[in-house]
Structure 1
Amino acid sequence: MKTIKSSCSITFFLLALAFSAFGQTNAEIEQELVGHIKNIKKWSSYGSDFNEDLLVKENELFKKKLLGYTKIDSTLNYPFSELNSYLHLTTSEDGKLRIYSWDTEIGGSVHFFDKIYQFQDKDGKVYSKSNTLQEGDSGAFISDIFDLDTKNGKIYLARFTSVLSGALCYESINLLGIEGNSLNDQIKLIKTKSGLTNSLGFEYDFGSVMDRKERPIKLILYDKETKTVKIPVVLKDQNFNNGGKVTDKFINYKFDGTYFLKQK
């Protein structure tokens, strides 16, 4: 009987130790993160309970914990359905790159967004990287990540959107790549008159597209079959003088196997 009790005690101890080692479940992690982002919404500068000190503190806590938890392999494929209702959780088609972007709620007419990159290397190891905003940079949220296979490996095309005022917005397509245990955000495969670049973007007046039903509004398109990025033509308009009017015409950049080239 003592042997059985002793075995049970050892088994219980090992199970407890295993649970301690693995820590929280993904569901518990999600609830913890949701709690912090709810507080960010609660203390928001856009609400009636604005508290700058608590808002800054909650943003710091949320970012620190999200950065830590996204280093856990299992979180890369976890849906985080509830958390996703409070921020932009965008995953590549192959599931190897995910970007979490959220409104810090600290701004006024300018919205300041922060983000965390989560990615998986060829050996299956998961990493995460925080975004560092430069002074005066409002950041952006990410609404889509498209995959593209090239002769030098896979690259990702991420659609970024910045809110620069009540009317002025900026949208871009940015090229990213996973290289070992790091994320390369300076992949210059787009040929322009000024030379090679890793990004294409434009300013526009939100009023010119506000009647569209989709939210968030997605203006830059990517045709996967033809490997073509489609950038809307924006024209000056006296009714939309904050960046211009978005038209239904496009400037096309097609991938030729090496570079994205502007089409005539």
Structure 2
Amino acid sequence: MKTKNILGFLFVLTAHFLFGQNISTIEKQLSKAFQKIDYWSSEGRNNENSYDSLATANTKFEKLLVQYTSSHSQTISHPFKSLEKIGLIIATSEDGKFRIYSWDTWTGGSMHFFKNVFQYEVDKKIYSKTVESQGEGDPGNYYTQVNDIISENKKYYLAQSKAILSSGMSYHAIKVFSIDNGKLNDKAQLIKTQSGIKNQLSYEVDLTASTNRQYEGRDYEIEYDPKNKIISIPLIQADSKITVKKIRYQFKGKYFEKI
């Protein structure tokens, strides 16, 4: 009996060690690939083929991230602290079943181009995918926060994002996602507006506009109150002036509705 107990303990200990070693190896390999992006966008920028090398580094990191996040279940809950320290942005849902990895490709100038990898869990299996940009010249965005919401017994996710259009212009959005029939749906609709049920709320901030020259605040970001289930976005006038007023949408059991 003692021998069986010892063997059982050793099995658990070995499994725990291999698990830790595996995720540690994954993080190191991802970190090494991600550092190539940093190198070709900074120290290696003066190299004759730096732009091509930078593009290649981004592609390699993206493929490696998709590979690991679609085949190793522990990645969806792992903090990846070393990667966050060097620029990877990770936004995870409250239930831990949906995660978005974002990073600056450093292939732009004052307009920043971002890439994203979306990871989600269905029936204890994990999946990972990329979403193509909306078209040529679309810089993409990075995701900062994901909140859960249940409407009519179905789980939805509210993902906040931001695009950097220039040093003084940015684009902000809160978008609805859901997982339908085992697939990620980035067109889920949960926000009721005057023009219909929408997938997202979005707006552009232009700090270079003459109406905002004296503006020094930072209260133009999206805010979400998970307790009262209220989305708040700034009221921006037609002349781009950012006001202190807010437009609010509250979840009413089925949809978010303006209050």
TM-score bracket for this pair, using the shorter chain length: 0.7 to 0.9
2: CA distance between counterparts of 1:225 and 1:107?
Answer: 38
Q: TM-score, normalised by structure 1?
A: 0.81
Q: Which amino acid aligns with 1:59?
A: N
Secondary structure of the residue aligned to 1:226 is coil
Structure 2 CA distance for partners of 1:119 and 1:129, relative to 1, 3 Å: same
Which residues of 2 match residues 118-129 of structure 1 at below 5 A? Answer: 118-121=119-122, 123-129=123-129
Query: Is 1:117 aligned to 2:118, yes or no?
Result: yes
Q: Deviations over 1:7-44 (max 9, x none)?
A: xxxxxxxx9xxx8xx9x711111111111211111111
2: CA distance between counterparts of 1:245 and 1:143?
Answer: 25
Partner of 1:61: 60
Structure 2 CA distance for partners of 1:158 and 1:31, relative to 1, 3 Å: same
Which residues of 2 match residues 91-240 of structure 1 at below 5 A? Answer: 91-121=92-122, 123-133=123-133, 134-206=135-207, 219-235=221-237
Query: Is 1:33 aligned to 2:30, yes or no?
Result: yes
Q: TM-score, normalised by structure 2?
A: 0.82
User: Contact between 1:163 and 1:169, CA under 8 Å: does it hold in 2?
Assistant: yes
What root-mean-square deviation, in Å, do the aligned CA atoms of Structure 1 and Structure 2 show? 2.5
Structure 2, unaligned runs of 5 or more: 1-13
User: Contact between 1:90 and 1:99, CA under 8 Å: does it hold in 2?
Assistant: yes
Q: Which amino acid aligns with 1:98?
A: R
1: CA distance between counterparts of 2:140 and 2:43?
Answer: 18
Structure 2 CA distance for partners of 1:94 and 1:218, relative to 1, 3 Å: farther
User: Contact between 2:205 and 2:220, CA under 8 Å: does it hold in 1?
Assistant: no
Secondary structure of the residue aligned to 1:173 is strand
Partner of 2:250: 254
2: CA distance between counterparts of 1:150 and 1:218?
Answer: 28
Q: Deviations over 1:145-193 (max 9, x none)?
A: 0111221411110001001112110001000112232111111121222
The number of residues matched between the two structures is 234
Query: Is 1:44 aligned to 2:41, yes or no?
Result: yes
- Structure 1 residue 46, shift from structure 2 partner: 9.9
- Structure 1 residue 236, shift from structure 2 partner: 5.6
Of the structure 1 ranges 97-106 and 177-186, higher mean CA displacement relative to structure 2 is found in 177-186
- Structure 1 residue 218, shift from structure 2 partner: 7.5
- Structure 1 residue 59, shift from structure 2 partner: 0.5
Of the structure 1 ranges 104-113 and 27-36, higher mean CA displacement relative to structure 2 is found in 27-36
1: CA distance between counterparts of 2:75 and 2:220?
Answer: 27
User: Contact between 1:144 and 1:159, CA under 8 Å: does it hold in 2?
Assistant: yes
2: CA distance between counterparts of 1:47 and 1:187?
Answer: 42
Structure whose residues are more often helix by fraction: 2
